[in-house]
């Protein structure tokens, strides 16, 4: 929420200083516009929900899914046959009276949220931006673009990499041959959404590093000193979000996260450099 700055008082579009109630009114309209965008995409998704269910949400439940095909090619190339997914023996079922309709509504909402995210975040940024100093605005230039790109990359990574690995392991895990996998549709959709959106949030690591470096909570020196600890945490996270004991799968998930951490160090370094330069300029 914008706050009055000593060197940059807030004004509205007409050049008048804004009151607290004016801020609340402006925030309300930003929220309404963001919610409106999400609603529009949700309605569009609901109209095409059958096609989305068959081709997108149920994609990781089919052996013809793109990721499984690439895993089979990798298995043929490396000679590690266990990588190839040949079967996914389970049936989806709706246990509740209104489960299918509820899942249609829920899935449509999350799809609408994903598509509307860039605009919704832009509305949030428009509200925050007037409260920033000129130097902070300059440092955060392109923030909406980078947040949106990282969100999209994380979403794709979660959907095409993490989700298929998790589904393959959990479905093919057998405690006993006599136990059949009849999966509730609610459980299946929750897994897809949680893993995909979870990765989209994890991919915001460089943005989080930027903000924390800006307020002085972390420094590039601190991040370099604890790099080994961070890699251990990353391996643990990779092991959690990919329940498969397969080493290849865990490395496949851990490598992008480690790369994001290294990018975060670079981002933090640039913030630190800009902050020191600003202090030198003030001292002169």
37-73 pLDDT, tens digit per residue, is: 999 999 999 999 999 999 999 999 999 999 999 989 8
Tell me which of 159 and 277 has the higher pLDDT: 159
Distance from the Cα of residue 167 to its chain's centroid = 19
Give residue for tokens 């990781």: 60
Higher pLDDT: 137 or 159? It is: 159
The mean of the pLDDT values for the chain is 85
- The arithmetic mean of pLDDT across residues 215-231, rounded, is 89
CA angle (98, 101, 105) in 5-degree steps:
130
Report the pLDDT value the prediction gives residue 55, as an integer from 0 to 100: 92
CB burial readout 83-92, b (16+ within 10 A) else e: bebeebebee
Name the pLDDT band for 275 (thresholds 50, 70, 90): confident
Position 42 scores a pLDDT of: 97
In the predicted model, is pLDDT for residue 2 greater than 50?
A: no
Q: 26-30, 103-107, 177-181, 200-204 — which is least confidently predicted?
A: 177-181
pLDDT band with cut points at 50, 70 and 90 for residue 263:
very high
Given a cut of 80, is residue 284 above it in pLDDT? no
Task: Quote the crossing angle between the two packed helices 185-202 and 227-241, to the nearest 10°.
Answer: 160
The predicted structure's pLDDT at residue 173: 81
Residue-level pLDDT at 245: 61
Mean pLDDT of all residues in 17-33 = 83
Distance CA 194, CA 110 (A): 10
Strands (E) located in the chain: 91-93, 182-184
Q: Of residues 272 and 35, which shows the higher confidence score?
A: 35
pLDDT value for 174 = 79
């Amino acid at each position: 929420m914008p706050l009055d700055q000593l060197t940059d008082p807030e004004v509205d579009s007409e050049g008048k200083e804004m009151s607290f109630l004016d801020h609340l009114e402006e925030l309300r309209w930003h929220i309404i516009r963001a919610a409106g965008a999400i609603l529009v995409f949700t309605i569009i998704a609901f109209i095409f929900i059958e096609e989305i269910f068959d081709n997108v949400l149920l994609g990781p439940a089919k052996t013809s899914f793109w990721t499984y095909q690439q895993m089979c090619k990798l298995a043929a190339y490396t000679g590690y046959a266990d990588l190839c997914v040949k079967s996914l023996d389970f049936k989806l079922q709706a246990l509740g009276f209104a489960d299918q309709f509820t899942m249609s509504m829920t899935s449509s909402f999350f799809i609408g949220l994903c598509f509307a995210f860039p605009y919704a975040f832009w509305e949030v940024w428009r509200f925050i931006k007037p409260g920033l100093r000129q130097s902070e605005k300059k440092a955060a230039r392109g923030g909406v673009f980078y947040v949106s790109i990282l969100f999209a990359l994380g979403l794709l990574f979660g959907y095409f990499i993490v989700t298929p690995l998790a589904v393959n392991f959990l479905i093919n895990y057998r405690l006993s041959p006599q136990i059949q996998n009849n999966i509730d549709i609610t459980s299946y959709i929750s897994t897809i959404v949680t893993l995909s959106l979870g990765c989209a949030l994890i991919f915001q690591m460089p943005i989080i590093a930027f903000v924390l470096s800006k307020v002085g909570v972390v420094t590039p020196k601190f991040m370099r000193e604890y790099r080994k600890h961070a890699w251990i945490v990353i391996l643990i996270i990779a092991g959690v979000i990919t329940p498969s004991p397969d080493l290849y799968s865990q490395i496949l998930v851990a490598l992008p996260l480690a790369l994001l951490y290294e990018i975060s160090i670079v981002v933090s370094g640039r913030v630190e450099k800009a902050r020191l330069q600003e202090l030198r300029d003030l001292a002169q």
